[in-house]
Structure 1
Amino acid sequence: MSDTTVTIDCVRVVLWGARRRGLDAGPLLVGAGVAPSLLGVRGARVPAESFARLVRDVCAALDDEFLGLADESVRPGTFAMMCRTAIHCPDLASALRRAGSFYALFPGAPRARLSTVVTAPAPAARWEFSVAMPPRLGPFIELCLLGITLRLASWAIGRRLRPSLVELAHPRAASVADHRLVLGEPIRYERPRPALVLAEADLAAPIVRGEHDLRALLAGSPAGLLAGLRPPVAIGERVRRILDRDVAGGTPPAHEVAARLNMSPQTLRRHLRAEGVSFREIRDEVLRDAAVSALADRGWSVAEIAEHLGFSEASAFQRAFKRWAGTTPGAYRSERCPPPPCGEHRRSPGPRNHRQSGGRAESGSSALNT
């Protein structure tokens, strides 16, 4: 099971659409393995696999790929058909225009268009959405629309697509860290419409994927795209996979990860900086998600989780977790992770003898860890 997590606000968006179409949220959450009590907890997160299952269940129950968020349903299979029409375009700009034209055929669906940016310092274009959004849910609908665009476009051209500017309709106060993580920076708030400003050179990038690649992508879409909105970053994702695999007992230090990637620590640092992330940020996110997953398992004590994740003492883990989640592990478990049904009990293998002090990797370049 992946340790990647999704903010509970995205769960609320999916349930809002389900409820407005008359579905009972309770059974949907239980079927996806999400505790209903999490809905009332600010900052809670759920496993990405559970979120993907929820999306698939709501899509099937409503017979609507837009999950009840639009005024009219969009039949399952529409997203796949859009991808099949766009993938044969010669470049990204043509593919985006075709995707926008395709969805314009469906009443009630979000409208999207590509327009020239005349005031930009370099030639660029704006990919913008026009969609009715309830104010409370707007930030997360924007995250899904722009995030899926970035992930799908990056996949199509075979490299990470970096917008020169992200525009969001909601105010800065309503934003969450996921917007910066998924969409990048800079971000401007309270704009007329959610949009991505893309460089002309990126729009001219050729589509490098074919039908065979598309079949693999569509196997879990669009639920899989929603659950994994993290952009496909080359080196950053490889670092995360290494840390994910070795999280038990403490994540390996930066210099060891660099060696596994056949590069020097300085080269690794340079690659990560170019991708807008640091080794410490990736490592903290891996540890946070692993901690959230372990806290949901009532068979683990906080001290055992701390040891399992490689912290030298429980207090170091508690300080780190409070920095990540804004609360202590015990309070997080009490508020967000209800006890399992009677008779259920599971434990993961015990921790290895490897330590991490104060939530920081013990060795490796300090510059990489910041």
Structure 2
Amino acid sequence: MAVTIPATIVANILEGAVARGADPAAILARASLPGVVGPLEAPDFVRLVRAVTLTLDDELAGLQDRPQRIGTHAIMAAHVSHAETLGAAYARAAGFMDLMDNSFRYSLRESGANLIFEMTRIPGREVLNNAAVEMVLVLVSRMLAWLVGNRGALNGAWFDYVAPGHVAAYRAMFQRAPMQFGQCSSGLAIPLALTRLPVLRSEDQATAYARRTPLDAFLPQDATTGLPLEVAVAVEACLSEQGRLPDMAQVARDLNLAPHTLRRRLKGDGVDYSNIRKQVRRDMAVRLLATTGDSVESIAAQTGFSEASAFIRAFRSWTGLTPRAYRKSEL
């Protein structure tokens, strides 16, 4: 389930650093990347974003009118973690971000069956390129979905610019939501039915998540809502209770479905059962690494691996880092 970040986004991130006077060669060296950068795998892109962020002391990567100093995102994560529901968390996020008074105004409102999270450019304020919008919407939607157990979904996403050349990547970035371009603002439509989901993460967990941003935000998510979510919950229950990953036949029985019906319906949603199992396993491993002091060997066993070495190899393939490096990673 490798994620590739298009070359355009990579170039846009580097443009922010150059615009602020940073040496791109030094940035690439700090990120352990070659001198000529094209499309990047997600872990490589994360290293690039972190190199830019640390060099500029700007969590917005030089893309907006003023820098957002390192640590601001963690403060926001702690703030939204005290909300009781997903809807309240979006309200806290919009209020916090608007308080920054940088390049955008942020607002929240209900419209029909959706909660609308909207960002509008402030006249006269600098917005360097489209990555300024992409990064905000991806990071906010992923973080808030994570707060409620990776159970977010989007009914729509829209953007105040024409469709970019890498628009095909938006399908994964915005959870396969319907999209519109050339609008007066940018934003997300969150199903009202999901806004009542309870926030599950503590302040300490949320702060740890923010310190790993943007790594978690660019890992793939398939089981977000509907039947894929039901399957993910069943897989997670078996893994948590029995320390093993169930096959499709067992999950089908748990959901009172025939295996061929489950396979057909998942295919109709564009989701593969094996990918859901991988995602559940990966998310549990990430959660245990971030929120417990359990050893790598113990976490390997809890996530259904017979040997720690197999777990380490799998984790590196998911994130580009070893479990110990991931646990230590922070800005």
Of 118, 137, 158 in structure 2, the residue corresponding to residue 167 of structure 1 is 158
Per the TM alignment, residue 3 of structure 1 is displaced from its structure 2 partner at its CA by 4.3
**Higher deviation after alignment, 27-36 or 76-85:** 27-36
Aligned positions of 1:1-370 closer than 5 A: 3-38=2-37, 44-117=38-111, 120=112, 123-131=113-121, 137-138=129-130, 140-172=131-163, 174-183=165-174, 184-221=176-213, 223-228=214-219, 230-231=220-221, 233=223, 259=248, 262-263=251-252, 264-271=259-266, 273=268, 276-279=269-272
Cα 1:142–1:215 shift into 2, 3 Å: closer
Letter in 2 for 1:127: F
Give SS of 1:103's match.
Answer: helix
C-alpha distance after superposition, 1:30-67 (max 9, x if no partner): 332333333xxxxx421222211111111111111111
Aligned partners of 1:173 and 1:99: how far apart in 2?
Answer: 27
**What is the DSSP-based 3-state SS (H/G/I as helix, E as strand, rest coil) of the residue aligned with 1:114?**
strand
Structure 1 length as normaliser, TM-score? 0.59
Q: 1:216 to 1:134 in 2, by over 3 A?
A: closer
Deviation of 1:266 (Å): 3.5
Deviation at 1:18, TM superposition (A): 0.6
- 2: distance between equivalents of 1:194 and 1:259? 39
- CA–CA separation in structure 2 for the residues paired with 1:15 and 1:79: 20
CA distance 1:134–1:267, change in 2 (3 Å): farther
Three-state SS of the structure 1 residue aligned to 2:212 is coil
Inter-partner Cα distance in structure 2 for 1:32 and 1:96: 32
Runs (4+) of structure 1 moved beyond 4 Å?
132-136, 257-263, 280-283
The DSSP-based 3-state class of the residue aligned with 1:209 is coil
Report if aligned partners of 1:111, 1:131 keep a CA contact under 8 Å in 2: yes
Asked if structure 2 preserves the Cα contact closer than 8 Å seen for 1:92 and 1:203, the reply is yes
The equivalent residue for 2:237 is none
How far did 1:82 drift? 0.5
Q: Is the 8 A contact 2:85 2:197 kept in 1?
A: yes
Unaligned runs of 5+ in 2: 233-245, 253-258, 277-331
SS at the partner of 2:61? coil
Rg comparison, structure with higher value: 1
**Structure 1 counterpart of 2:188, one-letter code:** L
- What is the distance in 1 between the residues matched to 2:248 and 2:197? 32
Q: Take 2:80 and 2:27, find their aligned partners in 1: how far apart are those partners?
A: 33
| C-alpha distance in structure 1 between counterparts of 2:32 and 2:190, whole Å | 38
SS in 1 for 2:215: helix
Matching residue's letter, 2:27: L
- Unaligned runs of at least 5 residues, structure 1: 39-43, 240-256, 284-370
1:216-247 CA distances to partner (integer Å, 9 max, x unpaired)? 423412x324543x3463659x99xxxxxxxx
TM-score, with normalisation over the residues of structure 2?
0.66
The question of whether the paired residues in 1 share the 8 Å contact of 2:65 and 2:103 is answered with: yes
Change (3 A) 1:145 1:279: same
Which one-letter code corresponds to 1:103 in the other structure? M
SS at match of 2:189: strand
Q: CA deviation at 1:261?
A: 7.4
Instruction: Give, as a single letter, the amino acid of the residue that structure 2 aligns with 1:213.
Output: Q
Cα 1:90/1:6, change in 2 over 3 Å:
same
* Closer/same/farther in 2, CA of residues 270 and 110 from structure 1, 3 Å limit: same
One-letter amino acid matched to 2:223: V
Give the partner amino acid of 1:124.
N
- Kept in 2: contact 1:269–1:279 (CA 8 A): no
Kindly report the root-mean-square deviation, in angstroms, between the aligned alpha carbons of the 2 structures.
3.5
- Report the 3-state secondary structure (helix = DSSP H, G, I; strand = E; otherwise coil) of the residue aligned with 2:99: coil
